[in-house]
Amino acid sequence: MATTVDDITGASLTRWLTAADLAFFPSNLPSGQVDYELLDGRLVMMVPPGDIHAGIQAEFASQLVFQAKRRGLGAVRSEVGIVLRRNPDCVVGADVAYLAAASLPPRRSPEGYLETIPDMVVEIRSKNDTLAYVEHKIADYLKAGVRLAIVVDPESKSATLYRPNQPVVALAETDELTCEDIIPDFRLPLASLFADLPPAAPAG
């Protein structure tokens, strides 16, 4: 779940924060671990992902490594900060990112964030992520040049595929995810992402 710092404090920023500022914020506070994003100069605090989220993220990234990286088709990143735009800066954390071979070697900011826009990003929706937050983030990805953005929802055991100027594609647990234009012959049965989830409670 994302919360801006000024939402909490009620204060207004005297200037927009930058990627350089973001790199100096602590990841461990007295209350526990915290992650950050930068939304057009505004600091956004993120709740660290839970175990279900982490398991799906690891499985998706592993499939990209096995089916793409090992074939020399591209590079895979997990939990990576991406600079989507500057002035004011927008730096977001992608759960999984894929860069096709044509996008390599990647460009990095002085702070170490990825400046090359990935060809594909994957976001695993957490239970506290609002639909408005997810849709806004996906819109930012596509506007920056991401060719395919995928939202995986553990609760509904589904995935939604977003492409620029194309209809949204919804996949169910029984479907297979493909992306021939980005990774030829890539096949990912969605059921494999949710194999470790507990069965749904019976209706009624």
Domain match, 40 and 118 both: no
Domain match, 106 and 8 both: no
Domain match, 38 and 129 both: no
Whole-model pTM: value is 0.83
The verdict on residue 84 lying in a domain is: no
The verdict on residue 156 lying in a domain is: yes
Does pLDDT of 156 surpass 50?
yes
User: What is the structure's pLDDT at 13?
Assistant: 47
Domain match, 121 and 189 both: yes
Average pLDDT of the chain is 87
The sign of the dihedral angle between the CA atoms of 83, 60, 176, 172 is negative
For the chain, the C-alpha Rg in angstroms (whole number) is: 17
Quote the number of domains for the chain: 2
CATH code of the domain containing 146: 3.90.1570.10
Query: 36-41, long-range: CB within 8 Å, 24+ apart, which pairs?
Result: 37/2, 37/91, 37/92, 37/93, 38/89, 38/90, 38/91, 38/92, 39/4, 39/90, 39/92, 40/16, 40/85, 40/88, 40/89, 40/90, 41/13, 41/15, 41/16, 41/17, 41/88, 41/89
Confidence of residue 28 (pLDDT cuts 50, 70, 90): low
Domain of residue 33: give its range: 2-46
